[in-house]
Chain A
Amino acid sequence: MESTVLKTKKLSAYFGDNRAVKDVTLSIPEKMVTTIMGPSGCGKTTLIRCFNRMHELIPDAKVEGKVFLREEDIYAINPMIVRRRVGMVFQRPNPFPTMTIYDNVIAGYKLNGLELSRTESDRIVEESLGKAALWDEVKDHLRRKGTFLSGGQQQRLCIARSLAMAPDLLLLDEPTSALDPKATARIEKLMTELKKNVTLILVTHNIAQAGRVSDLTAFLYLGELVEFGPTEQLHTAPRDKRTEEFLRGKFG
């Protein structure tokens, strides 16, 4: 049995009185890609934003239930520490516009005031960009601003920035929704590479993408976890009628 990185227990998330995520209980296994799939507005993004305590930054937002990261209750530890251990990649690439490519990669250290020796930071930059499949493209331009890169490259830079912190878990919130098909294909290929070393949670509303890259799929509908299981089984023989209808394109 593979070990579990993240576990939720009866997790609910609110915006004011509106309950966007309802009693979700699930376990995310290590070194796999788990997709959270569902129609727009079903609470996918809200759910993963509970995993790195970003949800609570919204005024009036509230979280109920438990989330354990490697058996530790993340709502009992400092959110800054949680966010350093759980990386996040957003819908739109968001490299720091005032920083060079090099500084963007080690931004997590620099901005947190963590000291790195020159050799250490050089190593982290090369390794992280290598893992994000960007090193060959940018190794001669490390001192250029990150915003000069193309959208797909910027997104891989953001992935490298998260990987540099050596996270236990990487959350990808529709990372390809702002990218063209070619850049999307690169990122999808990258995800299957990355899972050798890091656990990934991917949020997408793209059924085909979920099928291509993920080992496990969770189907979320109106904030409820409808079905969770191996991707192949969920795609070919869904147990719930709502999953089947979503997969057939009846809604979403």
Chain B
Amino acid sequence: MDRERVKLRIAKDSGFKVFVIVLSFLSMVPLFLILFYIMRNGLSSLSWEFLTELPKPVGEAGGGIANAIVGSFLLVVIASLPAIPMGITAGVYLSEHKVGRLSYLLRLAVEVLQGTPSIVIGIIAYLWLVISMGGFSALSGGIALGIMMLPVITRATEETLKLIPDALKEASLALGVPYYRTILKVILPAAFSGIATGILISIARIAGETAPLLFTAFGNPFMNLNIIKPVNALPLLIYNYATSPYPEWHSIAWGASCVLVGVVLLFNLVTRIIARRWKVQF
């Protein structure tokens, strides 16, 4: 009878293992389906011209998405310039001050900001920046995206710094190194890979954001490098072209999706390489 029980348990055990493995595989299926579908529809439109030429008017064959690629790049740069230093600074503050009124408020703000729908951030940027500046612009779009980056970078910095032993800080302070130099020259370098990972993840996240750009960067069929003029971006172009009635625009939207997904995948890959290459051992 005991034997029977053991047999039953072994059977249950293997049943559970199969269950876990099957579900794990199932959770990868959507990703592969999406990738497969985008590639099947998008790869055919990819070419050097597609990446370097401007869009053509409806009815003309060919044309590329150079303006959207450049625009997305411009938006990421505008977003990163304030978001990276502010996010890192806030993260350092949070890890240095685990309790206290300001850190409580800051932590709350970061959490709420992270949970704010991107479209709401877009509307706020529209009300405050677009209306007061008198028109759509790359600057307002970049700032809206920067606001979305901020909590991700703050969190990543705080979480990374939490893992750095206090002993390291003490070692530096005990050598007579001032506090600010200890943070800048000892603590932050030790946290480099974690912070860089957070930055890349936040960029990968905002690169695909459409909603906040609808009211801010707006889109532009031409190449534009002026930050106070409307600018195109990959997700905006995908949105506009995919909802248009023209089949040739649909295939351009697929191609642009392919580029966007490719860039995001690349960023994730680079993130992993950085995390491994610059991992600091304590």
Residue of B nearest to A88 (CB): B174
Which residues on A are within 8 Å of B, measured CB to CB? 52, 54, 57, 79-85, 87-88, 90, 92, 94-98, 107-108, 110-113, 145, 147, 158, 161-162, 165
Contacts of A97 in B (CB 8 A): 168, 190, 280-282
Give the complex CA separation of A112 and B168 in angstroms. 16
Cβ-defined partner of B177 (8 Å) among A88, A112, A158: A112
Shortest C-beta distance, B178 to chain A (Å), equals 6
When the two chains form their complex, are residues B281 and A112 in contact, meaning their CB atoms are under 8 A apart? no
When the two chains form their complex, are residues A98 and B173 in contact, meaning their CB atoms are under 8 A apart? no
Q: List 26 A-B contacts (CB under 8 A).
A: A54-B173, A54-B174, A80-B177, A82-B176, A84-B175, A87-B174, A88-B174, A90-B171, A94-B167, A94-B168, A94-B171, A95-B171, A96-B168, A97-B168, A97-B190, A97-B281, A98-B190, A98-B192, A108-B177, A111-B185, A112-B175, A112-B176, A112-B178, A112-B181, A145-B281, A165-B176
Shortest C-beta distance, B8 to chain A (Å), equals 48
Q: Does B182 contact A (CB under 8 A)?
A: yes
Which residues on B are within 8 Å of A, measured CB to CB? 165, 167-168, 170-178, 181-182, 185-186, 189-190, 192, 280-282
When the two chains form their complex, are residues A83 and B168 in contact, meaning their CB atoms are under 8 A apart? no
Residue of A nearest to B97 (CB): A59
- A92-B280 contact given A80-B177, A80-B178, A112-B181, CB 8 Å threshold: no
- A90-B281 contact given A81-B176, A111-B182, A112-B176, CB 8 Å threshold: no
Q: Chain B interface secondary structure, helix, strand, loop or mixed?
A: helix
Give the complex CA separation of A147 and B165 in angstroms. 14
Contacts of B192 in A (CB 8 A): 98
Residue of A nearest to B186 (CB): A96
Give the complex CA separation of A199 and B171 in angstroms. 20
Give the complex CA separation of A165 and B281 in angstroms. 25
Shortest C-beta distance, B102 to chain A (Å), equals 14
- A147-B282 contact given A111-B182, A113-B181, CB 8 Å threshold: yes
Give the complex CA separation of A90 and B175 in angstroms. 12
When the two chains form their complex, are residues A108 and B171 in contact, meaning their CB atoms are under 8 A apart? no
Shortest C-beta distance, A106 to chain B (Å), equals 10
Contacts of A108 in B (CB 8 A): 175-177
Which interface residue of B171, B173, B280 has the most chain A CB atoms within 10 A? B171
Beyond A83-B173, A95-B171, A96-B171, 10 extra complex contacts between A and B, CB < 8 Å: A83-B175, A85-B176, A90-B167, A94-B168, A94-B170, A97-B282, A112-B176, A112-B178, A147-B282, A161-B175
